[in-house]
Amino acid sequence: MKITFYGTRGSIPVPEKGSLHVGGNTSSTLIEFESGEIAILDAGTGIRKIGHDLMLRSKPLPEEILIGLSHTHWDHIQGFPFFSPAYNPKQKLTVAICRQDYDTGDLESVFRTQMQSDFFPLPLEKMGAEISFWQPHITRYRTTSKIKIEAIKHNHPGNAYTYRIEEKDSVLVYCTDIEHGDSIDERIVELSKDADLLIHDAQYTPDELENKKGWGHSSWEQAVEVAMRANVKKLALFHHDPDHDDKFLINLEWGCQNLFPSSFLAREGMEILI
């Protein structure tokens, strides 16, 4: 399983000089499986470059690409209208999120609304690809090639989901836009047990978190605590605050590594093989 970060920023893109090292695009991560299947986690502005890179690949794309969403806040879907494979009539796309107690309602209507003429010149139905929207009530799923996916709803305004994704002995956990509260969500620790890579929301410092309760995010300290308690091999700090520039984040990374040496900032273009 190969994971490539294309968007690691939270809330809003920051295409600024001070964010070029870590990256300014909002959440989108590419997963390439040993089976040849492809999945994308979230469709923030980073998905635009995923689309460009996929279209330039020498080998053909799989018949279907899965786009799995943690939730549908704008910074996690706003790049979808710029995803090149969505304009290929030969391509199938499945956009998915769990439906279990999810407050958003109909997933297709969310994407259709953001592409209304007031916001975008082309409607969803004119994109070209065969696009389906899937909102299963199940929280455990296995593909035909035996890729296992397990989801847990976690605390975020409007709710969001953490995913554990397994292929053979490789395990990835994706946990963004989570507010643990006064204590760590024990279910997230359990879901993350012995993962090869945990991607975890680390938007705030502990001091910032004190003043931003109810905003739906975690501190780097909480991300490290989950990683340590779950015995994960690597921790990627994710969903960087738009007000944190490269210098700030690199200093934060050093602090995290003093507590958990296998932690690092998720940076745009970074590839990890697990």
We report the CATH number of the domain holding residue 240 as: 3.60.15.10
Contacts of 53 (CB under 8 A, 6+ apart): none
- Name the residue range of residue 99's domain: 2-271
CB within 8 Å of 48: residues ≥ 6 apart: 25, 79, 82, 83, 84
Looking up tokens 């507010």 gives 179
Task: Count CA within 13 A, CB hemisphere, residue 243.
Answer: 4
Q: β-strand 197-201 against 170-175: which pairing, if any?
A: parallel
Q: How far apart are CA 244 and CA 57, in angstroms?
A: 33
Q: Total structural domains in the chain?
A: 1
Predicted model pTM: 0.96
CA 242 to chain centre: 16
Alpha-carbon gap, residue 143 to 256, rounded angstroms: 35
One pLDDT digit (tens) per residue for the chain, 274 residues: 999 999 999 999 999 999 999 999 999 999 999 999 999 999 999 999 999 999 999 889 999 999 999 999 999 999 999 999 999 999 999 999 987 555 556 899 999 999 999 999 999 999 999 999 999 887 888 877 789 999 999 999 989 999 999 999 999 999 999 999 999 999 999 999 999 999 999 999 999 999 999 999 999 999 999 999 999 999 999 999 999 999 999 999 999 999 999 999 999 999 999 9
